[in-house]
Amino acid sequence: MDQTKNNIEAGIDHSTTLKELWDLLGKVNDPEVPVLSITDLGIVRNVNLSQDISKGLVTEVVITPTYSGCPAMDLIKESIRMTLLEHGFNEVRVTTILSPAWTTEWMSEEGKEKLREYGISPPMPKQQVCSNLLFHEQEAIPCPQCNSFNTSLISQFGSTACKALYRCNNCLEPFDYFKCH
Amino acid sequence: MERIKLNTIAHQPQNSLIHYTLHQADNALILGHRNSEWTGHGPVLEQDIAISNIALDLVGQARNFYQYAALQINESMHHDATVDEGRAEITEDSLAYLRDVREFKNCLLTEQENGDWAKTVLRQFFFSQFQYLLYGSLSQSRDKDLSAISEKALKEVTYHLRWSSEWVIRLGDGTGESRRRILIAFDELWKFTSELFIPASYELVVAAEGLGVNPVTLKPSWMKNVSMVFEEAGILDALSQGIEEGWVGLCGKEGNHTEHLGYILAQLQFLQRAYPDCNW
């Protein structure tokens, strides 16, 4: 907010540049689920622009990790820098914040659709599965291949931190579920 | 004038928040390392992946705590005239790789050997149940870094707790052999759970300031939740007998460890000790 105020006072309108930046970030893919961009995932929390006397236009991209131990964070930061550099943004700072903690609620509807087409069942709405109760009923997760709800959990932990492993009892295919977080 | 040795932080009340942060980091790193020893050796592929995922979460949490500890240490040293100006900055890596056994503040429970699957699962269950309550409470801390790290970690620990609870029930309520093994694991591990709830001096200081949690306040809920799962697992008798047996006091939190931690560090720190500052 302060930045906007400063810009208005300085008579600079960054809105076109900001839109370009968000579009560019929408082309940076998550290395572990390459069908999703980092904006689909909802891990880009903010983009700030400021003028520095010696450096010129400085871009700050604020991101948050999906999981504390997400091994893709360093690569994602690098990809952000490279993508923006290719488009003339030479001074880029990538900042990581932890709070508020990332949630699958921030995933875009478009992202969920891409996941389904890719063969990964997208996260269900949060209130259904993120309960802290230990022995709550298991939620029915639809199979991304045949859409059957007749599926069963194999393991709460899958090929990456953000996925669980399921099996479809109808088409017999195993599949990943992008678990609610 | 005495100089502060690299990575060694004096035990003074004003350093309590640093020690508290390191204590949380060490707990997560050492248990994460223990769990990672299962990678490639799990009983079935899915559970190998599960325990490796839990290891990854814990090491990630450790990194967040170490980064915050390093920040605090570097700031406190900038204000200390007795410290060399040319001194290297403390980093998350130097804290994990260059401190010796006595400087680690993890609870003894986290460094115990993996044993069989029952022992690993039960150790995880005891500790996840503790972390679940701790992070829930710590996410309300007045310290915004500790609260942010905890808020994030709590979501992960919820999954660890569900997974380990289900395994305790499966083994306790399974075959004669699985029940026998979980009861042996209980005998080996129970005595180490007491230390989780005995506050070290630095925990008392940060708790009094509203920055940290006095772990003794978590004990009633912990006992209640553990009893609930043990009852479901049909091993509640063991718990009522165990309570009367010997307890371990304040040890690991103050740097007094079992022989196991030295072996863990020998493996974990080997590369940085053999090839100092090695990077790739």
How much is the pLDDT for B183? 96
Asked if B36 reaches chain A (Cβ–Cβ under 8 Å), the answer is no
A68, B61: Cβ pair inside 8 Å?
yes
Residue type at B225?
Answer: N
Partners of B161 on chain A (C-beta within 8 Å) are: 134
Q: Angle CA(B110)–CA(B184)–CA(B222) in degrees, nearest 5?
A: 50
Asked if A99 reaches chain B (Cβ–Cβ under 8 Å), the answer is yes
Cα dihedral A78, A79, A85, A86 sign:
positive
CB A70 within 8 A of CB B60: yes
> What ipTM does this complex have?
0.84
Q: Which two tokens stand for residue A151?
A: 């599926």
Which H helix or E strand runs over B180?
A: helix B176-193
Poorest-pLDDT segment among A82-86, A134-138, B95-99, B269-273 = A134-138
C-alpha span between A109 and B157 (Å, rounded) = 27
Mean pLDDT across the stretch B172-182?
97
The β-bridge partners of A166 are A153, A175
C-alpha span between B172 and B234 (Å, rounded) = 6
How much is the pLDDT for B83? 65
pLDDT of residue A80 exceeding 50, the answer is yes
Chain B, 132 to 151: residues with Cβ < 8 Å from chain A are 144, 147-149, 151
One of 1.10.760.10, 1.10.8.100, 1.20.1260.10, 3.40.50.720 is the CATH number of B13-274, namely 1.20.1260.10
Q: Could you read off the pLDDT of B222-238 as tens digits, one per residue?
A: 999 999 999 999 999 98
pLDDT of residue A116 exceeding 60, the answer is yes
C-alpha span between B191 and B197 (Å, rounded) = 12
Partners of A72 on chain B (C-beta within 8 Å) are: none
Say which residue the tokens 């008798």 belong to.
Answer: B237
Q: Shortest Cα distance from A33 to chain B (angstroms)?
A: 16
Mean pLDDT across the stretch A23-49?
94
The β-bridge partners of A93 are A60
Mean pLDDT across the stretch B184-201?
95
Architecture of the domain spanning A2-96: 2-Layer Sandwich (3.30)
Q: In Å, how far are A97, B149, B267 from B152, measured between CA atoms?
A: 11, 5, 29
C-alpha span between A176 and A158 (Å, rounded) = 7
Mean pLDDT of chain A: 87
Domain boundaries, chain B: 13-274
C-alpha span between B134 and B197 (Å, rounded) = 11
How much is the pLDDT for A180? 81
Q: Shortest Cα distance from B59 to chain A (angstroms)?
A: 6
Poorest-pLDDT segment among A29-43, A91-105, A154-168, B6-20 = B6-20
How much is the pLDDT for B160? 95
Q: Shortest Cα distance from A79 to chain B (angstroms)?
A: 18
Q: Could you read off the pLDDT of B9-62 as tens digits, one per residue?
A: 777 778 999 999 999 999 999 999 999 999 999 999 999 999 999 999 999 999
Residue of A100, A134, A161 with shortest CB distance to B53: A161
CB B102 within 8 A of CB B258: no
- What's CA A2's distance to the chain center, in Å? 26
pLDDT of residue A71 exceeding 70, the answer is yes
Q: Shortest Cα distance from B165 to chain A (angstroms)?
A: 8
Poorest-pLDDT segment among A130-134, A146-150, B120-124, B233-237 = A130-134
Partners of A67 on chain B (C-beta within 8 Å) are: 56-57, 60, 156
Mean pLDDT across the stretch A78-106?
94
Hey, of A45, A63, A97, A98, which one would you mutate to test binding to chain B, going by the most B CBs within 10 A of its CB?
Answer: A98
Partners of A179 on chain B (C-beta within 8 Å) are: 159
Residue of B50, B61, B64 with shortest CB distance to A156: B50
CB A178 within 8 A of CB A160: no
C-alpha span between A89 and B62 (Å, rounded) = 34
pLDDT of residue B107 exceeding 90, the answer is yes
Classify B18 in phi/psi space as left (phi over 0), alpha (psi -120 to 50) or beta: alpha
pLDDT of residue A136 exceeding 90, the answer is no
Residue of chain B nearest A134, judged by CA positions: B162
C-alpha span between B234 and B229 (Å, rounded) = 9
pLDDT of residue A176 exceeding 70, the answer is yes
Percent with pLDDT over 90 in chain A: 65
The β-bridge partners of A48 are A60
C-alpha span between B240 and B249 (Å, rounded) = 20
Residue of B46, B144, B151 with shortest CB distance to A165: B46
C-alpha span between B147 and B1 (Å, rounded) = 37
Helix (H, G, I), strand (E, B) or coil at B66: helix
Asked if B202 reaches chain A (Cβ–Cβ under 8 Å), the answer is no
Helix B117-138 with B219-233: angle, nearest 10 deg: 140
Mean pLDDT across the stretch B123-142?
97
Q: Shortest Cα distance from A154 to chain B (angstroms)?
A: 8
pLDDT of residue A129 exceeding 70, the answer is no
The reply to whether omega before A100 is within 30° of 0 (cis) is yes
CB A165 within 8 A of CB A155: yes
- Residue by residue, DSSP assigns A52-94 as ETTTEEEEEEEE--SSTT-TTHHHHHHHHHHHHHHTT--EEEE
C-alpha span between B114 and A127 (Å, rounded) = 35
Asked if B236 reaches chain A (Cβ–Cβ under 8 Å), the answer is no
Partners of A157 on chain B (C-beta within 8 Å) are: 46, 49-50, 52-54, 159, 163
Domain boundaries, chain A: 2-96, 106-178
Give pTM, 2 decimals.
0.91
Hey, of B29, B52, B152, which one would you mutate to test binding to chain A, going by the most A CBs within 10 A of its CB?
Answer: B152
Residue of B46, B151, B161 with shortest CB distance to A155: B46
pLDDT of residue A9 exceeding 60, the answer is no
Mean pLDDT across the stretch A70-98?
94
Mean pLDDT across the stretch A144-167?
90
Residue of A100, A159, A161 with shortest CB distance to B57: A161
Q: How confident is the model at residue B147 (pLDDT cuts 50, 70, 90)?
A: very high
C-alpha span between A181 and A164 (Å, rounded) = 11
Mean pLDDT across the stretch B147-167?
94
Q: Shortest Cα distance from A7 to chain B (angstroms)?
A: 29
Residue of chain A nearest B157, judged by CA positions: A132
pLDDT of residue A139 exceeding 90, the answer is no
Mean pLDDT of chain B: 92
Helix (H, G, I), strand (E, B) or coil at A154: strand
The β-bridge partners of A56 are A52
Q: How confident is the model at residue B77 (pLDDT cuts 50, 70, 90)?
A: confident
Q: Is A144 exposed, middle or buried (0-12, 13-18, 19+ CB in 10 A)?
A: buried
Poorest-pLDDT segment among B64-68, B95-99, B269-273, B275-279 = B275-279
Nearest to B162 by CA among A105, A4, A34, A153: A153
How much is the pLDDT for B264? 98
Backbone φ and ψ of A175, nearest 5°: -150, 160
C-alpha span between B100 and B97 (Å, rounded) = 8
Contact pairs from chain A to chain B, CB under 8 Å: 78
